[in-house]
């Protein structure tokens, strides 16, 4: 993109008008909030999740997909077509005991969704972004990947730390092609996943959990012209729980 085009876009730095954005984990708290924010900024959103649309008639394109399945993600990319950005919020954090004899299966499942899923999305969508001369990836990491977590299991913390490293690796590959790769690192957020892990937001510095739209807005920002000179960043959105 030339300097004149950049300056023109920065006249409306948060505008996503005309941009097609795929959002995974879109039925969940942060993913759904990101979809709402992006649509509010004019984006054409495409939603994907492992869960079915639950009998609801979607107002936007909705795809049921398991991001841990590479063939399914490749098929998703073929069906969705070119996109400006991928916001990946698909993730799991099972409240299980890592000392149990049968915990290995849970570990594999968390790695497959949280980390392999991100790699699958990058492999499926980054080549077309490079060919198009630009694009964005915004991943959902975690404060657990920074500090080992507060109440999560080691599989979740390990995958989020791995995701942060993957973001930086992908940024090195994509930035020279104007494909910028970043992530947010949430702390406690008021979502069903947090509720399943009995997370009490009052123990954190702001004495509350984050709101899903606070994360959704940051993810939307990473896809906007305002973030056009940011790549390889892990943005801490955790209410002061951790200072990166």
Q: Which residue has 């123990």 as its token pair?
A: 203
CA-to-CA separations, 47 to 113, 239, 240, 243, in angstroms, rounded: 17, 28, 31, 32
Helix (H, G, I), strand (E, B) or coil at 126: helix
Q: Which residues are catalytic?
A: 156
CA distance linking residue 121 with residue 143, whole number of Å: 22
CA distance linking residue 176 with residue 230, whole number of Å: 12
Beta-strand (E) ranges in the chain?
Answer: 20-24, 44-49, 62-64, 85-88, 135-140, 179-186, 234-237
């Amino acid at each position: 993109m030339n300097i004149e085009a950049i300056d023109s876009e920065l006249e409306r730095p948060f505008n996503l008008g005309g941009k097609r954005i795929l959002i995974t984990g879109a039925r969940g708290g942060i993913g759904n909030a990101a979809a709402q924010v992006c649509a509010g900024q004019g984006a054409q959103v495409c939603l994907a999740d492992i869960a079915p649309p639950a009998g609801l008639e979607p107002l936007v394109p909705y795809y049921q997909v398991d991001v841990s399945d590479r063939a399914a993600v490749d098929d998703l990319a073929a069906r969705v077509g070119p996109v400006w950005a991928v916001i990946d919020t698909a993730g799991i954090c099972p409240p299980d005991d890592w000392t149990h004899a049968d915990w290995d299966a849970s570990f594999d499942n968390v790695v497959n969704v949280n980390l392999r899923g991100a790699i699958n999305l990058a492999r499926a969508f980054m080549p077309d972004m490079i060919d198009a001369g630009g694009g964005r990836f915004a991943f959902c990491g975690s404060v657990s990947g920074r500090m080992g977590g507060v109440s999560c299991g080691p599989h979740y913390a390990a995958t989020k730390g791995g995701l942060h490293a993957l973001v930086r690796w992908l940024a090195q590959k994509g930035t020279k092609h104007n494909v910028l790769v970043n992530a947010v690192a949430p702390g406690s957020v008021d979502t069903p996943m947090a509720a399943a892990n009995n997370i009490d937001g009052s123990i954190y510095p702001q004495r509350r959990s984050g709101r899903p739209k606070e994360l959704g807005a940051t993810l939307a920002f990473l896809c906007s012209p305002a973030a056009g000179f940011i790549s390889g960043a892990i943005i801490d959105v955790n209410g002061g729980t951790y200072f990166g």
